[in-house]
Amino acid sequence: MLLALRTFLKKKISMKNMTFNKSFTQQEPIPAESIRSAVNVLRSGRLHRYNTLDEEQSETALLEKEFSEWQGSKFCLATTSGGTAMQIALRAAGVKAGDKVLTNSFTLAPVPGAIHTLNAEPILIDSTKDLVLDLEDLQLRMKSSKAKFMLVSHMRGHLVNMRSLVKILKENGIILIEDCAHTMGAYWNNVRSGNFGSISCFSTQTYKHLNSGEGGFITTNDSGMMATCILLSGSYMLYEKHNSLPKKSFFEKKKFEVPNCSMRMDNLRASILRPQIKKIDANIQKWNDRHHIFTSTLGKLESIYIPQRSKEEKYVGSSFQFLVPRNWSEINCVEFLTRCKKRGVEIKWFGNLKPVGYTSRHESWKYIKAQNLPNIPKIVTRVMDIRIPLTFTLRDCRVISKIISEEVKKIKF
């Protein structure tokens, strides 16, 4: 592979001014097995998860069992989205109106959104240049806020030192909820992301590691929390139809106290997802092969910074981030983005004060109290991001990296 890369890079002439012409948002088709299975569900007419005959297991119940086996958690509940998974999980973990919840400042809008939906208050934590929680800032804000909960968002697949995080939170009696929307399949020190906290959330939205359009999972080993989640998701008195099910006694009292929030997954989406679980490990390898091309090619440029990763971290490279030079102005950033776009390379800029597409900065979450985060202007302002859909070949990734490195060099500041 390395040799191929070297010969490829030697053919610089042919690459000069080359443009890229594939979409950055084109997913792979849904596997044939998923399509067959989805058609069977459609033919049956029984799309609702509780519409089963006698002992029959619904597609959703089977999906939950299969995902919990893959993840290595005791229980799993499938939901309508990753965002609703977070809302249910926070509530099941005990978050109530007015409670403070520590979370990342560098994340996507559904995270503060989920906290806000519970009328709880997000306390944002600063980010390091490696795009993870600043643990010193966490300790300061933990003390000043007296928060009893943390929703850690493993944003863009970057895992903070999980051993340190768990230790800090444990010492302070803080309950950890993990947002694994970007780390399904990642590990820290051989423990799978999602198995560190009391309860964890995943997304199966199109741009994540499994694709059902919309959808999400909650996993936990805690019977009480899972019983609450199942009831919150809208199980009526049909919870015994679940396969990933805590003992009946956990439901007895709660079933009259926990509201039904109607956030259930349906059998159609479950049928699309089940065959994808079998492919996820192979897909992770494909993402990492592509990600490696970006880090090895752009890692040669001295002017940009690529977030560093610990050898304890096994990540899923489904997107790639780099920081542009500290002294680039906003105009330099815009010029760089425009130049890349002209050559077909769509880069998202997390530092843009104007929220564009899926990116937004904490300053634009006007529904939460304004917070002072000194690292944001120094770090997040410089963060550039590209998604790596698996429709990109290895060659595509080389072309994109080449275009980026040529355009970085053209910026005069």
Q: Residue number with the shortest CB distance to ligand PLP?
A: 82
Of the candidate residues 60, 67, 82, 246, the single one contacting ligand PLP (CB under 6 A): 82
- 211 versus 401: smaller Cβ distance to ligand PLP: 211
- Find the part of the chain contacting ligand PLP (CB under 6 A) among 107-115, 136-144, 260-268, 385-393: 107-115
Q: Judged by CB under 6 A, does residue 112 bind ligand PLP?
A: no
**Order of strands across the sheet that contains 383-387:** 319-323, 383-387, 348-349
Task: Give the CA-trace dihedral at 369, 373, 378, 384, to 10 degrees.
Answer: -50
Scan residues 304-343 and list those touching ligand PLP (CB under 6 A): none
Q: Is 197 in the site for ligand PLP (CB under 6 A)?
A: no
Stretch that binds ligand PLP, among 1-9, 77-85, 331-339, 398-406 (CB under 6 A): 77-85
Q: What is the DSSP string of 150-188?
A: EEEE-GGGPPP-HHHHHHHHHHTTPEEEEE-TTTTT-EE
> What SS3 class is residue 76?
strand
Retrieve residue 250's tokens: 């956990």
Selected from 125, 181, 265, 400, the binder of ligand PLP by CB under 6 A is: 181
Minimum CB separation of residue 394 from ligand PLP in Å reads: 25
Give the gyration radius of the chain's Cα atoms: 22
Give me the least distance between CB of 175 and ligand PLP, in Å please: 18
CA atoms within 13 A on the CB side of 57: 14
Residue 249 amino acid letter: S
Closer CB to ligand PLP, residue 68 or residue 153? 153
Nearer to ligand PLP, 185 or 246 (CB): 185
Q: Does residue 273 bind ligand PLP (CB under 6 A)? A: no
Distance CA 215, CA 267 (A): 11
Burial class (CB in 10 A: 0-12, 13-18, 19+), 31: middle
Our finding on whether 88 is near ligand PLP (CB under 6 A) is no
Under the binding rule (CB under 6 A), the answer on residue 284 touching ligand PLP is no
Nearer to ligand PLP, 185 or 216 (CB): 216
Q: Site map for ligand PLP, 150-179, x if CB under 6 A?
A: ---x-x-----------------------x
107 binds ligand PLP (CB under 6 A): yes
Query: Is 386 an interacting residue with respect to ligand PLP (CB under 6 A)?
Result: no
The Cα-based distances of 161 to 117, 126, 164, 280, 308 in angstroms read: 29, 15, 6, 24, 12
Are the C-beta atoms of 262 and 234 separated by less than 8 Å? Answer: yes
The helix (H) or strand (E) run that includes residue 220 is strand 216-220
Q: How many residues of this chain interact with ligand PLP, rule: CB under 6 A?
A: 15
Other beta carbons less than 10 A from residue 69's beta carbon? 12
Can residue 185 be called a binding residue for ligand PLP (CB under 6 A)? no
Asked if residue 108 binds ligand PLP (CB under 6 A), the reply is yes
Is 245 one of the binding residues for ligand PLP (CB under 6 A)?
no
**Residue 26 CB-density burial (10 A; 0-12 exposed, 13-18 middle, 19+ buried):** exposed
> Which of 238, 280 has the CB closer to ligand PLP?
280
- Indicate which single residue of 122, 157, 185, 216 sits in contact with ligand PLP (rule: CB under 6 A): 216
Residue 188's closest CA among 177, 180, 196? 196
- Does position 205 bind ligand PLP by CB under 6 A? yes
Distances (CA, A) of 239 to 46, 80, 106, 265: 17, 17, 37, 13
Binding residues for ligand PLP, rule: CB under 6 A, are 81-83, 107-108, 110-111, 153, 155, 179, 181-182, 203, 205, 216
